[in-house]
Amino acid sequence: MKLEAIRRTPPHAEPEVTREDLKRVETRVEFVAQEVEGEKLLSRYILQQARKNGDDLAIVKTRVERVEEKVEKLEQKFDRLEQKVDRLEQKIDRLEIRLPA
């Protein structure tokens, strides 16, 4: 509807609405409705991906914790082996001292 047509309409008279005006409004409403549906679809997809990423992150975190535990156990084993090697070196050194040259 054109602004001039509204201005020419008497104050209490109903403005003239054409089929063309209604069609334009209908087209705009349909466009906005499609846009809203698209936004909803995108929001659902983002939410789904966020949930999936959260699940993946939890799995990775669990695996990292297991690896940390294994590394800690390996460090303890290595420390014990290092102590054994040190004791063996000391024994060898004492044996060398005792052996005649």
Residue 56 Cα distances to 66, 70, 74, angstroms: 16, 21, 27
The pLDDT, as a whole number, for residue 15 is 72
Identify which of 12, 18, 10 has the alpha carbon closest to the alpha carbon of residue 2.
18
| More reliable by pLDDT, 6 or 67 | 67
| More reliable by pLDDT, 69 or 99 | 69
Its pTM surpasses 0.85: no
The predicted-structure confidence for 10-66, as pLDDT tens digits, reads as follows 666 677 889 999 999 999 999 999 999 999 999 999 999 999 999 999 999 999 999
